[in-house]
């Protein structure tokens, strides 16, 4: 069993196409993490901005009374 597993890893390691595929998958995974993080942070900024605008509008309405 161990020799079969070692043989499989050896073939994968020596196979340049396998290495290239692994690199592509890693790049896609990193890009996905960055996109998700940007989406979450972006949504937080939008929510915060909307809250501040609402507060300013409320203060402006109260100041006119």
Domain coordinates of the chain in residue numbers?
A: 2-64
For the chain, the straight-line distance linking the first and the last C-alpha, in angstroms and rounded, comes to 82
pLDDT for 35 equals 96
CA-atom Rg of the chain in angstroms:
26
Instruction: State the pTM of this model.
Output: 0.53
13-24 pLDDT, tens digit per residue, is 666 677 788 889
27-60 pLDDT, tens digit per residue, is 999 999 999 999 999 999 999 999 999 999 888 7
pLDDT for 8 equals 73
pLDDT for 2 equals 74
């Amino acid at each position: 069993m161990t020799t079969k597993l070692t043989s499989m890893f050896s073939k994968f390691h020596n196979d340049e196409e396998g290495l290239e595929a692994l690199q592509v998958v890693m790049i896609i995974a990193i890009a996905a993490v960055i996109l998700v993080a940007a989406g979450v942070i972006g949504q937080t900024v939008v929510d915060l901005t909307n809250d501040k605008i609402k507060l300013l509008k409320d203060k402006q309405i109260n100041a006119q009374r």
